[in-house]
Amino acid sequence: MAITDILSAKDIESALSSCQAADSFNYKSFFSTVGLSSKSPDQIKKVFGILDQDKSGFIEEEELQLFLKNFSSSARVLTIAETKAFLAAGDTDGDGKIGVEGRIWGNLAKL
């Protein structure tokens, strides 16, 4: 399954263009612009599965740094500061990874 099976290419392009500059990524804004906040919990879990490159059930720091590249291969890598802030927002138990039921993914539809 491709991410464009769930999200529109136009919304992805718009979301990526809003955070082209280093240290401009805001996950709440990105999720809203890309259209994730209007998706069903099942669709959100499917997107999580696409982003979970190693299929571990979690998104680890290394995967998170490449987050934008999942939406477009030409997108930039998140900075260390962006990656750490994103991880801190979603890591509910301090284990250094984000699970599908965590604060970010579990509450996406409520953003």
Residues of each annotated binding site for Ca(2+):
52, 54, 56, 58, 63, 91, 93, 95, 97
**Binding-site annotation, residues:** 52, 54, 56, 58, 63, 91, 93, 95, 97
- For the chain, strand residue ranges (E) read 58-60, 97-99
CA dist., res. 98 & res. 102, Å (int): 6
CA-nearest of 64, 59, 63, 71 to 16 is: 71
Tokens of 70: 């999942």
